[in-house]
Structure 1
Amino acid sequence: MSSPHILILGAPGAGKGTQSANIVDEFGVEHVTTGDALRSNKEMDISDMDFEYDTPGEYMDAGDLVPDAVVNAIVEEALSSADGYVLDGYPRNLEQAEELADMTDLDLVLYLDVDRSELVDRLTGRRVCDDCGANFHVKYSQPEEEGICDECGGELVQREDDTAEAAENRLDVFEENTLPVVEYYEGTDEFVAVDGEQAPDEVWSDVKAAIEAVTE
């Protein structure tokens, strides 16, 4: 199996983006996220679905949530055109997990397991350059000069969604909606839990080994 179908799960701050990028580089699969899929299909004709708007882009422009049925259709389209993929950010709830089972067969479900207190530290410690958008962290990826971007010299700021209150809210939403998705897959042959509190290269070593086990 040269092009595996991989689902990666984990709370905000667990490292899904970092490990997904590693998987794409190592195994040559596509990184499919709901955000990217929605952006690439903004003009998709959904008039036959009898919703308020006729394209996903109209929901996004209005700042409204795109209906689940539309998200499902877009993800299905993205997966059907990918030879292999790592799916990140979907499914977010049990209903979407059941839809995904009808769309595709998964070879591996990776769960990056990180304690809540560690997740809060990771999320609240992130700093972003106000000018170029480069990411740093007060503990894990410090700039050479405190508060100053290494890339362009801009000011490093804490985004509103990285405050302690926002981080706790994001994790509450994950535990309520998406943790049941983890439990849905747990116990299946495809499910592998990885200790996400290890150093990133150690996490990657475990992730890579899990993928190689299903691609042999």
Structure 2
Amino acid sequence: MSNPHVLILGAPGAGKGTQSARIADAFDVEHVTTGDALRANKDMDISDMDTEYDTPREYMEAGDLVPDAVVNAIVEEALSTADGYVLDGYPRNLEQAKELEDMTELDVILHLDVSRDELVDRLTGRRVCDDCGTNYHVEFDQPEVEGVCDDCGGDLVQRDDDTEEAVQNRLDVFDDNTQPVIDHYSDRDDFVAVDGERAPDAVWDDVEAAIESNA
């Protein structure tokens, strides 16, 4: 199999980034994320669209959400130049899912299925070095010295969006907007649900097998 087109879905904290990186490495495809695509195309001329600003950069600098029409165009550009890909972080709603169907053909759709309680534990337990940005976890990936980064000695902090309240809000948004996307794809023959609550290596075994079987 060569150049598979993979879509990976899952809630925040499900492990999409970890598994996407392994997919990109194992199958020699690009890891396409909405954030990276936006940053790479932040100066794209969107003046011909009915938008408030003329470039994505202006939305990002203003702290405003980039409109779906702009995100769709940027993702389409990223996929059109990719020689195989794993798409992570898009589509986030049904409208984007319908746009994606016009952009490309998917070989396999992976859903990393993780319970809400486990997602909350993973996200609220995350700690980040305030200096270098290295990630740790209070249960799964502890530093040698509590509260101190192994790499640079900086202080480990909890990000504002990793507090219990913020995490619950993020998961509510996911349930409202993106869970319908998963439901939309779930009856397709190329949809594969993977138990994401296990160790990353165990999850990877199923992810790799699903791609090899479907692509």
TM-score, normalised relative to structure 2: 0.99
- Alignment partner of 1:69 is 2:69: yes
Structure 1 distance, partners of 2:121, 2:204, is 21
Read off the aligned partner of 1:179 and give its amino acid letter. Answer: Q
Instruction: Determine the structure 1 residue equivalent to 2:5.
Output: 5
Structure 1 distance, partners of 2:113, 2:52, is 38
DSSP 3-state at the match of 1:49: coil
Structure 1 distance, partners of 2:166, 2:179, is 18
Q: Is 47-56 or 198-207 further displaced after alignment?
A: 47-56
Instruction: Determine the structure 2 residue equivalent to 1:52.
Output: 52
Instruction: Determine the structure 2 residue equivalent to 1:191.
Output: 191
The 5-angstrom pairing of residues 1-216 of structure 1 reads: 1-215=1-215
Read off the aligned partner of 1:173 and give its amino acid letter. Answer: V
Structure 1, gaps ≥5 residues long: none
User: C-alpha deviations, 1:63-98, integer Å up to 9, x for none?
Assistant: 111110010000000000001000000000000000
Identity of aligned residues (%): 77
Structure 2 distance, partners of 1:126, 1:72, is 31
Which stretches of structure 1, 4 residues or more, deviate above 2 A after TM superposition?
none
Q: CA deviation at 1:122?
A: 0.1
Q: CA deviation at 1:202?
A: 0.1
Structure 2, gaps ≥5 residues long: none
Structure 1 distance, partners of 2:122, 2:130, is 19
DSSP 3-state at the match of 1:48: coil
Structure 2 distance, partners of 1:192, 1:98, is 19
TM-score, normalised relative to structure 1: 0.98
Structure 1 distance, partners of 2:138, 2:51, is 44
Q: CA deviation at 1:6?
A: 0.3
DSSP 3-state at the match of 1:14: coil
Read off the aligned partner of 2:158 and give its amino acid letter. Answer: Q
| Number of residue equivalences | 215
Structural RMSD (CA): 0.7
Read off the aligned partner of 2:43 and give its amino acid letter. Answer: E
